[in-house]
Structure 1
């Protein structure tokens, strides 16, 4: 009996430990040496990659991304753009025709792999468009490490999307997604989405990157420059060390998803320190078209202070805003953005959005090709909050999200909405993708705040950062924290908002005034059930709110941040009508309505209010 009990206890303990240690993440260390031919827009690369398999699975193959292979005629990206026509990404087309189709032969993107080895032994590999499949000679056991070495050369493509040469603002080289990058491996398997225009995913990695380039170039990058006195632009006392006509730039970065850089002969570099971090770099062409950058420093300082206090402390030592993209695109410790802006608010909108991806893409590193609404939506939520503080609106808006809610209503009315759950690259309509990922992803948090209360939402966001920073969370992990903090069942909300295009539409059906009270009948006109904040304004301008819970949450909102309320009997989600009687007469009331805060994304708000006359 004793022996049997001991065996049983050991089995239970091992299962418990397996459950406790179920989460894992892979790790990589890159050492790269790059030699750039600036005249021909090519480079030669040599890479050593130490890779840790922290999974419980034995790996017999690994995958690398070769993103630049997309930038050529008849690539999968070209085919996708051509297939979508005017419904696709306008930046990838002109007059509905793919811009990739006309890339000259000598400007086609290419990453030509000469060889790859594992622990010094040659490996077989095959190129599948923008994905390279590598067959291992030695299987990679669970919790073990291996070393890959690789040599390749690359042609910097014509600038079409994010990467490339000679972008529309005249920056010579935007070097993003520029190296053979190992794919992420997790419980869902290898993240090997073909690159056809959208986002990226990768394991956390350390980077040691040496770049040789003509000595008259200035390089901006997401990382720490290890030799600022030996190169141009970063130190006024610099004595440029050149190997013939080339300077050597040494960059280092720890625990990031990627390493991006840009190079131009006309770059200026400015830097300043945000109290409690980070150090910020502006790398841009200083001219009349970029003069608003000179106004940005105090706004950027306040931006990082707001983000650090509201959403979690930025984890890295520096951040660089680099003029080098075709709009804006986030990378580790930097972003590539357009530099030419007429107004400081426009420039800051771009900087705030891309900078906020340091939280919701870099530190909280969800799989964006798989779940774009988390990264883009949560980033847009932070952007709305910060911009509301940096540039307070001149009108009296009830909340920072009014414009996004109105935009969402517009897309619903057009009838082109697509579910947020769809894969980023697999939306049929470019506008529908943007609304599903950016707008609906942002409104996911706005609706969540309406349901659980704003104080609870702030706790959810900080707890999410605390538990999952520098890891790879999923929407299930976020939902787990939201339910834990609020005490509510929220699976129903997550399903409706992310997996469907069903809408919220509540209205006031009837109002009856009696001698001592008023009775209001509310109606759910659509498919998504919600708790309801019903408010009245008295003739002496007092606002009284009645919170009507929805039964599926099982626990009711206690506080909100938009004023006190009285909790009423719950409204079953199967019940179309709800009757509420309040102790006010017609002569005491001036206005009554649903959601005075205007946070609920009701697609038909016209029937939500009644003016008492």
Structure 2
């Protein structure tokens, strides 16, 4: 009996310990030597990668991403675009036909691996589209490191999506996701998603990258340039140091970032300015009449970093670079690639703010974008709306910076093609549905939390979330743990409704009955997501009186909000469709009454939320 008890106790303890495994994250250190043949848009690569396994598991295989292998006819990305047709990403197709299908052979992307070695011994590897599976001779034991060496040659693809040669603004090389990059491994296993044009994930890594290229090229990159006096563009009195092939070697380093990206062009201009208590910012672009707004954008970008530092948390890295390149805007470690020819200052700054804002979410917080794009894109969009509202205040001042996103969401829901935000980023069937699920619903996730618990609580939560999880890989569970701890509320119901379903919020003022000294109001929940309700009365003498109707599922009620004080009424059970209450105002005292005067509630039908009293 005792032995049986001991066995059961041991089994229970083992299972409990497995479920309560402490957090860990893997670590990689890259040292690369790259020799670029700019005339033929190819390069030779050598790489030494020191990989540290901090997990409790022994690793017998590792995986690498070979993103450029996707840029060719017949690839998985080509098939995905063809299958989606006009419902897919418009940048990857013309009139529903995949642009990848017509890439000439000489402009296909390719990363041709010559060998992979572990501690000097050859390894077997198998290339599966944009994923390389490597079988190890010696397993990597927990809390130990190993060294991989490899050589490869690469063909820079036709610029279609993010990476490639000769983008539409004439940038010679946009070098993003350009090297064999080891995949992330965590509690959920290897992050080995095929590349179909969207999301990335990687372990935090250190980089030492030496790029040899024709001396008349200028490089912009996300990192620290270690030899600015020996290359073109970064120092006024620099003397370009060339080798026997008339090439210059650019020496870059970066620490604790997710990837290393760069771009190269003969006509780049390099400018820089420093943000007080922030990074040194570089602009690397073709200076012309078409890019004249870059100069005007500088004070706005200084303010952007200051606002983000105050609202979310301090930017971690020493530099940040905006580089003209790519096909729109895409964030990378310590830099972004953006199209530079802007038609308006607000449009250019908005693009810079969004892509720069990813530094906090996609880079420093480092969510798994492939699994939870709504956290990266959505939270970045939330802070973009917050910052742009202050940088470019609307002509008619409004208190809610998220009004535009709320209206976009309401209009999109009416189209009937919404898909749940919980879906994997690359597996949405409709490109617009992906965008709204990730960008808009992710943004409104935070807006609705602010409405439920009060903006002060939300601000505290996001700052604590950042301080606790920066330079790690948090999930939505980690965010919700902090949100429930700070607010005291149960919020699991809301996350499930908002992220895992396409159910909607729809409340209405069903009936108003006026008495001599009071008014009785009946509200109706016509939607499929229950919410607490903020209800307000505008009196004839222009005073606003606020009431809060809690939702029973939160169990703790909101106690304050920046939109004014309120009186708390009895809670509304989530199973109950109607709710009736009485306020001490007669009809003659009321100018208007209704749901959510702050305009934050993502109610899909606003027409029945307000009653004006004539």
Q: Tell me whether the two structures share a fold, i.e. TM-score over 0.5.
A: yes
Match for residue 479 of structure 1?
Answer: 480
List aligned pairs for 1:523-534, cutoff 5 A.
523-534=524-535
Look up the match of 1:239.
Answer: 239
Aligned to 2:414, the other structure's residue is in SS state helix
State the SS of the aligned residue for 2:558: coil
- CA deviation vs aligned residue, 1:448-470 (integer Å, no higher than 9, x gap): 10001000000010010011000
Segment drifting more, 387-396 vs 312-321:
387-396
The equivalent residue for 2:22 is: 22
Residue in 2 that maps onto 1:315: 316
Structure 2 Cα separation of the partners of residues 8 and 504 of structure 1? 47
Which position in structure 2 is the counterpart of 1:162?
162
Matching residue of 1:370? 371
Q: Counterpart in 2 of 1:514? A: 515
Q: How far apart are 1:363 and its partner, in Å?
A: 0.5
1:253 maps to what in 2? 254
Separation of aligned partners in 2, 1:561 and 1:396: 16
* Aligned: 1:405 with 2:410: no
- The CA distance in 1 between the partners of 2:232 and 2:346, in whole Å, is 31
Q: C-alpha separation between the residues in 1 aligned to 2:367 and 2:186? A: 11
* Structure 1 partner of 2:42: 42
Alpha-carbon distance in 2 for matches of 1:186, 1:136: 18
1:220-256 CA-partner distances (Å, limit 9, x unpaired)? 0000000000000000010000013100000000000
- Give the Cα separation in 2 of the matches to 1:137 and 1:467: 38
Distance in 1 between residues matched to 2:211 and 2:534, nearest whole Å: 58
* Offset at residue 398 of structure 1 (A): 3.5
User: Which residue of 2 is the match for residue 389 of structure 1?
Assistant: 390
Q: Which structure 2 residues correspond to residues 69-468 of structure 1 after superposition, within 5 A?
A: 69-244=69-244, 245-468=246-469
Q: Deviations over 1:42-72 (max 9, x none)?
A: 0000000000000011110000000000000
Residue 563 of structure 1 is matched in structure 2 by 564
Aligned residues: 609
Aligned-partner SS, 1:198: coil
Looking at structure 2, the residues matched to 52 and 211 of structure 1 have their Cα atoms a distance apart, in angstroms, of 25
Partner of 1:4: none
Q: Any gaps of 5 or more consecutive residues in structure 1?
A: 1-6
**Unaligned 5+ residue runs, structure 2?**
1-6
Query: Scaled by the length of structure 1, what TM-score is found?
Result: 0.97
Q: 1:14 deviation in Å? A: 10
Please report how far the alpha carbon of residue 17 of structure 1 lies from its aligned counterpart in structure 2 after TM superposition: 8.5
**Distance in 2 separating the partners of 1:76 and 1:9:** 49
Report the alpha carbon displacement of residue 19 of structure 1 after superposing the two structures with TM: 7.5
Q: Deviations over 1:67-103 (max 9, x none)?
A: 0000000100000001000000000001111000110
Please state how far the C-alpha of 1:277 moved relative to its aligned partner.
1.7
Q: Distance in 2 between matches of 1:433 and 1:416?
A: 10
Q: TM-score scaled to structure 2, two decimals?
A: 0.97
Deviation string 1:369-390 (CA, Å, 9 cap, x unpaired) is: 1110000000000000000010
Name the CA distance, whole Å, in 1 between partners of 2:146 and 2:11: 31
Secondary structure of 2:212 counterpart: strand
**Cα distance, 1:396 vs structure 2:** 2.8
Q: 1:95 & 1:412 partners in 2: Cα distance?
A: 25
Deviation at 1:397, TM superposition (A): 2.3
Residue number in structure 2 paired with 1:540 = 541
